């Protein structure tokens, strides 16, 4: 076979500029900037990088889709598909309770969005207080998670005001966008009914419902994968500069949703190259030339893994030495099987989707192998999916080689969502091979049956989420916050970020013990309306004795009075207590002041004392 | 175009002209000489409501007379506003979402609401400071004539009349006024430049946090701005086609504008210029009845101003200050203005972007006027009605700002005084749009201004709106709200509050209240009512202040009650560097026992 000449690429100045920009990005991202400086750089500039990427993406979308959008008329809308998308989205949203489901991940994302909203910095707040009437973030740390989801969330905060529940609003909206894109992908691959099949299969996937009602970035990841793939379809169909810019910038943003989503940059690059070779001309725009530099925060932020070895969370699985290894694959594959084909009561998977998907996937891969040489003659939708199959497969292999890549683990299940998408798209892609309409109608009926018989009961019971205690603890703490709307108290809790992201002053038990004098100062001076302590106990099944979990013990100096407790699981107890008295060693017991001192009459003296007090107050803040 | 004579040929009805002059002389005599201050005060209190109601009715009547023949112009736009309507709606929603609906300026906004309540309930002008529930009816006992003009309070009372009394009506009114203001800004900006220019003006104003802060408050600033914008639009309509109805509308709008804020009376000068300019255009003197009586319609404003001048208590001077206007305030105020207009942090509600554009625009205009050759693209076409109107009102806005620089409480970087910059920002936004349109001939200036506004939005406006330090650091407002929440949560139906701040918010919540000073003197009466169970609870509010850097709080000397008052703490909360305390008054010792404990010693 004669290979196509690539000399036209080598002689294009813009290509060299793109290469230069890429090399510069690699040098800056991986070599030139030391770890600590890299983190500082991202914390100060990360927001602006994502904002610039997003603005360029929206502009590119408008350039390529604007004409189409202007031509939209109410009469031209496919109301049947819209109704199915609407109903599918409702099914996903109504059965689960809105809440932060995955401890740390979702709260850390919320925290980053909070600092982006307030200060345009990329930090998860670790200290925050109301000093002069407004809650202000005093300190924070850089999180390891990519920035696009917190950025979008911060946009909602910007235009509607800060509230943690905005994360659910965003994911709720993304659910409908995702189903709309799934419908479009199905329709492009195999017609109108195929779009409906794809939507209904996802509407019956409890895992999707769980994430649609959470505060995580999984829905956005799915939306961006599909959006990029569909923009790839448009680029393959039109082969013009606006479509290419939108496609590349979509890939750029996708890479900043989840860590491993950078994998999808490979199919994006391959599609662009493939079109150039087919057209024998280079299509490039300035935003694409600078795109590698816009991606700079990603590798710089990744330095956290060098600086903070705990970022890999390897300590949570003591038997594993490295984050990625092929030796994890067999075990992870068995866990994947246990997830995809598990009992719907125990696993939020969809048997119908898994069975249909895993039956279809080999056929799809065979079809792909058969058509790969004649891919240019295929529809743009099939060609785009062919390239994105590399991304889907890469993501699946990566997960299987990950030390924590067990799809049946409550925390990890969500990582199977791109694979579920791959299964559905694979199924839809082979449907044109079965030309009889009855076949598609039969599949549609099967999908509806699966939704009603398996999906909805599983979502309604959501037994699969009950075993994950941290998620339920967050919901319990949030109920306490809802019951105490005046957020003027201090919470001592090992998960202090949760409280700070809800604009409540908080500190950890370790810090509270270390700075007991500061706590005493604030208790005496009514800094907070109350000081609460949140603790978790494990219960001995034989004796019924309760032991505090590691890190929750405050010691005998803190005299507590329980105000609320609940056994969220049989052998655990969560308790919130009020601090009623402090008994620091060798000092008098501390209680709130009764306000009996005599104040000088001179207003100037009063003002000076107020300033002196505030100065000390700020120094003593937890 | 033939040159118009400076003084138009007099073709007016001589009797009307004579009457106009007589009204002017009479207005000066009645307003400043013939009527003593006390009589003026009584007259405002008893007849002011009907004066402003009549004025407003005439304003609506002439507004309709002007709008009705041009129905074909505005009705299609209202039916299909298109993208412009979407942009204006988006700007209004953004403005109204950028700050919470709550009281921002204490106690100005409560005073206005108390005046509105009194107008609603009694059709008299007065601010209620003491009221009781007598036999099931909330009865005002003591009122005073406030210094603030009362058109806003009247409009609010009208909303109460039509929908029932509630505190939130002030927010609804200001929300509606904000939408009207942005619409009028767009219209005037469009007449001054073009559609894009109008949208630039709206975008520049909507992205300024100060506008959102005031649009969601219960104050009169947005109302004043709306009246200013309306008056400018009325002036433009008149100048384009001088006629009796349009001139009447302009006159009435000007009088109502004068009743919107103290210094807005100065816009009468702008309107006078426009009236004469209209006469020149028409080539005749147009004298509708509304214009003839305009001097007399301004008399209540003069009376109220005299009452204010004669009542130093209303000036709210701070320690060491002797007069409201002085040269000595200039330096501090100029420094404050500079810090405000070019503040880049989130602590103030300004727009440095609009300030910078305005500075550039003013330099451009200055350069164009003085070095015409070096600014070939500059054109100030005063023969065009929008430019004439803009200049006439813009100069008075500038004059007002200059006058404010001599006022004792006009440091614009003080969050309480920042709102005084709103009229300046309004005119600045229009000037910027005008200059951008001229620059568009050479550069894509308007496009760049839009991009700059977007950048400003993300770099400065949104972070400032997120923090809302200029609103949330108003601790007294938070304290009053907290006190009310705690007292409401006690569940007591009949409460008497002894407040260390003001009685007015409590009066508006229909809770009887006294200030601490009065309570000190009226111990016997309070004890009598406690004995007779007039109130379920008597709650005392106090401030605790630190006496050392370590805290050691004590009661503020101004809030101390005699020792004969026995208190029991029910709630304590910190507000910045002080602590607010609510106590239940348990008992008051009878006079014989009280004499043993002199006033001023702390109550237990």
Let me know: does A445 contact A197? Beta carbons within 8 Å.
no
C-alpha–C-alpha distance, residues B264 and B256, integer Å: 9
**Inter-chain residue contact B466 with A592, CB threshold 8 Å:** no
Residue in chain B closest to A522 (alpha carbons) equals B551
Question: What per-residue confidence (pLDDT) applies to B600?
Answer: 47
What is the token pair recorded at A52?
């610039």
What are the tens digits of pLDDT across the range B469-497? 999 988 999 999 999 999 999 888 899 99
**Inter-chain residue contact A599 with B555, CB threshold 8 Å:** yes
Could you report how far apart the first and last alpha carbons of chain A are, in Å? Answer: 71
For the range A161-166, what are the long-range contacts, defined as Cβ-Cβ under 8 Å and sequence gap of 24 or more?
A: A161/B97, A161/B100, A162/A114, A162/A117, A162/A118, A162/A503, A162/B466, A164/A100, A164/A110, A164/A215, A164/A501, A164/A502, A165/A98, A166/A113
Three-state DSSP class for residue A197: helix
Which of B450, B551, B570, B574 is the mutation pick for testing A, counting most A CBs within 10 A? B551
The answer, for A605 touching chain B at a CB cutoff of 8 Å, is no
Question: What per-residue confidence (pLDDT) applies to B579?
Answer: 94
Give the closest residue to A526 by CA, choosing from B382, B39, B543, B461.
B543
What are the tens digits of pLDDT across the range B175-202? 999 999 999 999 999 999 999 999 999 9
Looking up tokens 């979308």 gives A61
Give the closest residue to B427 by CA, choosing from B586, B123, B189.
B189
Which of B549, B560, B581 is the mutation pick for testing A, counting most A CBs within 10 A? B549
Let me know: does A262 contact A255? Beta carbons within 8 Å.
yes
Residues 70-129 of A with CB under 8 A from B: 117-120
C-alpha–C-alpha distance, residues A155 and A101, integer Å: 22
Nearest neighbour of B554 by CB, restricted to A117, A528, A599: A599
**Inter-chain residue contact B574 with A527, CB threshold 8 Å:** yes
* DSSP state for residue A559 in the 8-state scheme: E
Torsion angle of the four alpha carbons A144, A148, A152, A157, in this order, in degrees rounded to the nearest 10: 30
Quickly count: other Cβ atoms within 10 Å of residue A66's Cβ: 12
**Inter-chain residue contact B463 with A521, CB threshold 8 Å:** no
Let me know: does A26 contact A294? Beta carbons within 8 Å.
no
Sign of the alpha-carbon torsion through B499, B502, B507, B508: negative
Question: What per-residue confidence (pLDDT) applies to A462?
Answer: 81
Looking up tokens 């609804």 gives B172
What is the token pair recorded at B375?
């600014």
C-alpha–C-alpha distance, residues B531 and A80, integer Å: 74
Question: What per-residue confidence (pLDDT) applies to B47?
Answer: 96
Let me know: does A203 contact A179? Beta carbons within 8 Å.
yes
- E strand or H helix at B130, and its extent? strand B127-134
Instruction: Please give the backbone phi and psi of residue B5, each rounded to the nearest 5 degrees, phi first.
Output: -70, 145
From residue B537, alpha-carbon distances to A61, B493, B509 in Å are 64, 8, 16
Question: What is the DSSP pairing of strand B513-515 with strand B495-499?
Answer: parallel
Residues ≥6 apart with Cβ < 8 Å to A200: A84, A88, A444, A447, A448, A451
Enter the pTM of the model: 0.90
Let me know: does B102 contact B214? Beta carbons within 8 Å.
no
- Give percent of chain B with pLDDT exceeding 90: 81
B137 bridge partner residues:
B134
Quickly count: other Cβ atoms within 10 Å of residue B135's Cβ: 6
User: Taking 90 as the threshold, does the pLDDT of residue B391 lie above it?
Assistant: yes
What are the tens digits of pLDDT across the range B425-467? 999 999 999 999 989 988 899 999 999 999 999 999 999 999 9
Strands of B418-549 (E only): list them: 495-499, 513-515, 537-548
Q: What share of chain B is helix, strand, coil (3-state, %, to 5)?
A: 65, 10, 25
**Kindly report the CA angle at A148 between A154 and A487, in degrees rounded to 5?**
30
Give the closest residue to A202 by CA, choosing from A230, A223, A231.
A223
**Inter-chain residue contact A134 with B467, CB threshold 8 Å:** yes
Question: What per-residue confidence (pLDDT) applies to A314?
Answer: 65
- Go through A513-529 and write b for each residue having 16 or more CB atoms within 10 A of its CB, e for each that does not: eebbebbbbbbbbbbbb
Three-state DSSP class for residue A283: coil
**Cβ contacts (< 8 Å) between A486 and chain B: which residues?**
482, 485
Calculate how close chain A gets to B170, using CA atoms only, in Å. Answer: 22
Let me know: does B32 contact B233? Beta carbons within 8 Å.
no
Quickly count: other Cβ atoms within 10 Å of residue A78's Cβ: 13
Question: What is the DSSP pairing of strand B578-588 with strand B565-575?
Answer: antiparallel
Q: Which of A413-417, A463-467, B55-59, B215-219 has the lowest mean pLDDT?
A: A463-467
The mean of the pLDDT values for chain B is: 91
Q: Is the peptide bond between B107 and the residue preceding it cis, with omega within 30 degrees of 0?
A: yes
**Cβ contacts (< 8 Å) between B447 and chain A: which residues?**
none
Give the closest residue to A365 by CA, choosing from A424, A420, A426.
A426
Half-sphere exposure of residue A461: CA atoms within 13 angstroms, side-chain side: 14
C-alpha–C-alpha distance, residues B88 and A526, integer Å: 47
What is the token pair recorded at A312?
């890999």
**Cβ contacts (< 8 Å) between B557 and chain A: which residues?**
599-601
From residue B381, alpha-carbon distances to A2, A106, A117, B386 in Å are 72, 60, 45, 9
What are the tens digits of pLDDT across the range A464-517? 877 778 888 999 999 999 999 989 999 999 989 999 999 999 999 999 999 999
- Go through A500-512 and write b for each residue having 16 or more CB atoms within 10 A of its CB, e for each that does not: bbbbbbbbbbebb
Average pLDDT rounded to a whole number, residues B511-525: 94
C-alpha–C-alpha distance, residues B355 and B338, integer Å: 10
Calculate how close chain B gets to A155, using CA atoms only, in Å. Answer: 9
Let me know: does B604 contact B567? Beta carbons within 8 Å.
yes
Average pLDDT rounded to a whole number, residues B259-287: 94
**Inter-chain residue contact B553 with A595, CB threshold 8 Å:** yes
User: For chain A, which residues score pLDDT lower than 50?
Assistant: 1
Average pLDDT rounded to a whole number, residues B311-340: 86
Q: Tell me chain B's radius of gyration from C-alpha atoms.
A: 27
Question: What per-residue confidence (pLDDT) applies to A345?
Answer: 79
**Cβ contacts (< 8 Å) between B474 and chain A: which residues?**
133
Residues ≥6 apart with Cβ < 8 Å to B519: B498, B526, B540, B561
**Inter-chain residue contact A606 with B556, CB threshold 8 Å:** yes
Question: What per-residue confidence (pLDDT) applies to A73?
Answer: 83
Question: What per-residue confidence (pLDDT) applies to B11?
Answer: 52
Three-state DSSP class for residue A571: coil
A471 bridge partner residues:
none
Nearest neighbour of A529 by CB, restricted to B466, B472, B573: B573
**Inter-chain residue contact A613 with B572, CB threshold 8 Å:** no
For residue B232, is it left (φ>0), alpha (ψ between -120 and 50) or beta?
Answer: alpha
**Cβ contacts (< 8 Å) between A138 and chain B: which residues?**
none
**Inter-chain residue contact B97 with A161, CB threshold 8 Å:** yes
Half-sphere exposure of residue A557: CA atoms within 13 angstroms, side-chain side: 17
Question: What per-residue confidence (pLDDT) applies to B256?
Answer: 98
DSSP string, A341-374: TS-TTTS---HHHHHHHHHHHHHHHHHHHHHGGG
């Amino acid at each position: 076979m004669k290979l196509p000449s690539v000399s036209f690429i080598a002689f294009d100045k813009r290509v060299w500029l793109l290469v230069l920009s890429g090399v510069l990005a690699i040098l800056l991202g991986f070599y030139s900037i030391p770890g600590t400086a890299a983190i500082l750089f991202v914390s100060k500039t990360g927001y602006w990088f994502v904002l610039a990427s997003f603005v360029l993406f929206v502009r590119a979308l408008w350039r390529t889709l604007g004409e189409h959008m202007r031509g939209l008329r109410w009469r031209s809308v496919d109301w049947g598909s819209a109704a199915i998308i609407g109903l599918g989205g409702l099914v996903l949203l109504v059965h689960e309770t809105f809440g932060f489901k995955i401890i740390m991940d979702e709260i850390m994302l919320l925290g980053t969005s909070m600092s982006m909203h307030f200060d345009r910095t990329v930090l998860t707040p670790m200290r925050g207080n109301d000093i002069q009437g407004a809650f202000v973030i005093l300190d924070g740390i850089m999180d390891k998670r990519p920035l696009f989801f917190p950025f979008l969330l911060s946009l909602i905060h910007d235009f509607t005001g800060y509230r943690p529940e905005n994360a659910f609003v965003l994911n709720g909206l993304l659910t409908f966008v995702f189903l709309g894109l799934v419908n479009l992908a199905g329709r492009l691959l195999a017609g109108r009914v195929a779009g409906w099949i794809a939507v209904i299969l996802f509407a019956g996937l409890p895992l999707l419902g769980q994430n649609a009602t959470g505060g995580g970035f999984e829905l956005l990841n799915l939306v961006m994968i599909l959006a990029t793939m569909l923009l790839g379809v448009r680029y393959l169909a039109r082969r013009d500069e606006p479509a290419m810019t939108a496609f590349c910038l979509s890939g750029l943003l996708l890479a900043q949703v989840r860590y491993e989503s950078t994998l999808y940059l490979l199919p994006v690059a391959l599609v662009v190259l493939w079109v150039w070779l087919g057209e024998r001309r280079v299509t490039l725009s300035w935003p694409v030339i600078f795109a590698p530099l816009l991606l700079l925060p990603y590798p710089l932020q990744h330095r956290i893994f060098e600086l903070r070895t705990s970022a890999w969370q390897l300590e949570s699985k003591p038997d594993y030495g490295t984050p990625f290894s092929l030796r994890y694959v067999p075990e992870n594959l068995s866990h994947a099987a246990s997830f995809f084909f598990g009992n719907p009561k125990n696993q939020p998977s969809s048997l119908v989707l898994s069975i249909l998907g895993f039956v279809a996937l080999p056929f799809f891969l065979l079809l792909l192998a058969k058509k790969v040489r004649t891919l240019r003659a295929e529809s743009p939708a099939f060609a785009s999916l062919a390239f994105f199959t590399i991304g889907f497969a890469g993501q699946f292999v990566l997960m299987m080689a990950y030390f924590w890549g067990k799809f049946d683990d409550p925390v990890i299940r969500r990582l199977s969502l791109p694979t579920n998408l791959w299964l559905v798209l694979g199924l839809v892609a082979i449907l044109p091979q079965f030309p009889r309409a009855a076949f598609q109608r039969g599949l549609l009926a099967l999908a509806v049956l699966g939704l009603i018989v398996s999906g909805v009961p599983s979502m309604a019971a959501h037994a699969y989420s009950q075993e994950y205690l941290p998620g339920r603890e967050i919901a319990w703490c949030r109920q306490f916050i809802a019951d105490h709307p005046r957020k003027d108290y201090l919470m001592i809790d090992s998960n202090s970020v949760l409280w700070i992201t809800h604009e409540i002053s908080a500190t950890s038990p370790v810090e509270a013990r270390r700075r007991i004098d500061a706590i005493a100062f604030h208790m005496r001076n009514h800094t907070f309306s109350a000081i609460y302590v949140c603790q978790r106990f494990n219960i001995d099944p034989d004796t019924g004795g309760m032991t505090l979990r590691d890190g929750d013990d405050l010691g005998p100096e803190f005299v507590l009075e329980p105000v609320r407790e609940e056994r969220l699981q049989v052998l655990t107890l969560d308790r919130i207590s009020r601090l009623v008295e402090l008994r620091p060693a060798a000092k008098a017991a501390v209680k709130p002041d009764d306000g009996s001192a005599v104040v000088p009459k001179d207003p100037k003296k009063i003002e000076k004392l107020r300033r002196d007090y505030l100065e000390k107050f700020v120094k003593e803040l937890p | 175009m033939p040159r118009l004579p400076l003084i138009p040929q007099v073709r007016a009805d001589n009797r009307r002209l004579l009457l106009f002059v007589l009204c002017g002389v009479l207005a000066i005599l009645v307003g400043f000489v013939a009527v003593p201050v006390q009589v003026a005060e009584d007259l405002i209190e008893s007849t002011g409501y009907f004066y402003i109601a009549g004025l407003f009715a005439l304003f609506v009547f002439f507004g309709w007379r002007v709008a009705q023949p041009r129905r074909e112009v505005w009705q299609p736009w209202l039916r299909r506003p298109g993208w412009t309507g979407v942009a204006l709606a988006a700007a209004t929603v953004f403005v109204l979402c950028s700050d919470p609906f709550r009281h921002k300026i204490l106690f100005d906004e409560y005073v206005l609401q108390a005046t509105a309540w009194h107008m609603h309930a009694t059709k008299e002008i007065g601010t209620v400071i003491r009221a009781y529930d007598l036999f099931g009816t909330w009865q005002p006992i003591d009122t005073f004539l406030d210094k603030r003009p009362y058109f806003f309070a009247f409009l609010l009372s009208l909303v109460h009349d039509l929908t029932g009394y509630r505190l939130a009506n002030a927010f609804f009114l200001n929300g509606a006024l904000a939408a009207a203001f942005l619409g009028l800004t767009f219209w005037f900006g469009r007449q001054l430049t073009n559609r894009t220019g109008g949208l630039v003006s709206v975008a520049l104003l909507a992205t300024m946090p100060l506008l959102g802060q005031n649009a969601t408050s219960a104050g009169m600033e947005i109302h004043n701005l709306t009246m200013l914008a309306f008056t400018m639009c009325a002036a433009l309509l008149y100048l384009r086609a001088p006629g009796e109805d349009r001139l009447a509308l302009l006159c009435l709008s000007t009088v109502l504008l004068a009743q919107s804020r103290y210094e807005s009376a100065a816009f009468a000068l702008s309107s006078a210029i426009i009236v004469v300019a209209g006469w020149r255009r028409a080539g005749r003197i147009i004298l509708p009845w509304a214009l003839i009586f305009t001097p007399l319609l301004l008399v209540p404003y003069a009376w109220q101003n005299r009452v204010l001048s004669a009542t130093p208590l209303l000036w709210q001077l701070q320690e060491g200050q002797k007069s409201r206007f002085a040269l000595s305030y200039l330096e501090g105020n100029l420094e404050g203005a500079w810090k405000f207009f070019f503040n880049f942090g989130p602590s103030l509600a300004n727009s440095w972007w609009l300030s910078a554009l305005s500075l550039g625009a003013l330099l451009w205009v200055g350069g164009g006027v003085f070095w015409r050759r070096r600014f070939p693209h500059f054109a100030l076409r005063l023969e065009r009605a929008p430019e004439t109107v803009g200049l006439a009102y813009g100069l008075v806005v500038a004059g007002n700002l200059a006058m404010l620089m001599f006022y004792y409480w006009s440091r614009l970087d003080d969050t309480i005084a920042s709102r005084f910059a709103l009229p300046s920002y309004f005119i600045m936004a229009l000037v910027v749009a005008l200059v951008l349109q001229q620059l568009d001939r050479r550069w894509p200036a308007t496009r760049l201004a839009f991009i700059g506004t977007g950048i400003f939005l993300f770099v400065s406006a949104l972070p400032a709106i997120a923090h809302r330090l200029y609103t949330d650091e108003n601790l007294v407002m938070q304290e009053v709200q907290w006190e009310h929440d705690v007292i409401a949560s006690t569940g007591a139906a009949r409460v008497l509050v002894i407040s260390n701040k003001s009685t007015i918010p409590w009066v508006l919540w229909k809770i009887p209240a006294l200030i601490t000073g009065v309570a000190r003197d009226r111990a016997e009466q309070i004890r009598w009512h406690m004995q007779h169970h007039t109130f379920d609870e008597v709650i005392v509010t106090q401030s605790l202040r630190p006496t050392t850097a370590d805290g050691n709080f004590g009661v503020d000397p101004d809030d101390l009650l005699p020792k004969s008052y026995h208190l029991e703490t029910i709630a304590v909360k910190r507000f910045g560097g002080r602590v607010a305390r609510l106590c239940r008054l348990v008992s008051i010792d009878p006079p014989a026992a009280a004499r043993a404990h002199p006033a001023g010693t702390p109550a237990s």
